[in-house]
Amino acid sequence: MTRSGPPITFADFVDLALEMSTNSPCQKSKRGAVAFRDRELVAVGWNHRPGGEACDGSEDCRASCRREAVHAEQVLVVSTANLDGADVIHVKSIDGALVASGGPSCGECAKLLRAAAVAAVWLYHADGWRRYPIAEFHRLSIEAGR
């Protein structure tokens, strides 16, 4: 398959992840993710509750989100059969703008991405983007949960 137009760039994938984050019904923490391999899009996702329930922004809703919501990375895993060797960009947005998402912290997402043979996860920090090879991302996520 031949594709016309300019090559897809990392910035294009970031823009798409930000666009996906705006699909999230969450009032407090809109997250989006894209998986790509060899400059080709593999999958997209955003955080949401199963069944489409809306977030009301309350403290109870936020407290239950970690247990109940489907995370953007989890959507990637369930939406495609082949993430082998793909990189994943994870973003957090406020009013559609990229904000620092902090370090690796979700053991559930980390173990699913590692099991799916993802190569690495990209996170945005105050000083820019950092690529975490999947073994490091997994280890840091598990340590953060202790």
Q: What is the pLDDT of residues 68-99, one digit of tens each?
A: 889 999 999 999 879 999 999 999 999 999 99
Chain centre distance of CA 93 = 11
Q: In the structure encoding, which two tokens stand for residue 119, read together? A: 């190569």
- The residue ranges of every structural domain in the chain are 10-144
49: Cβ–Cβ under 8 A, 6 or more apart, which residues? 25, 55, 65, 68, 69, 70
pTM of the model: 0.89
| pLDDT exceeds cutoff 50 at 2 | no
pLDDT digits (tens, 9 = 90+) for 18-70: 999 999 988 878 999 999 999 999 999 999 888 777 777 788 877 777 678 89
Of 3.40.50.300, 3.10.100.10, 3.40.50.720, 3.40.140.10, which CATH number belongs to 10-144?
A: 3.40.140.10
At residue 31, the pLDDT reads: 94
**How far is the C-alpha of 82 from the C-alpha of 40, rounded, in Å?**
13
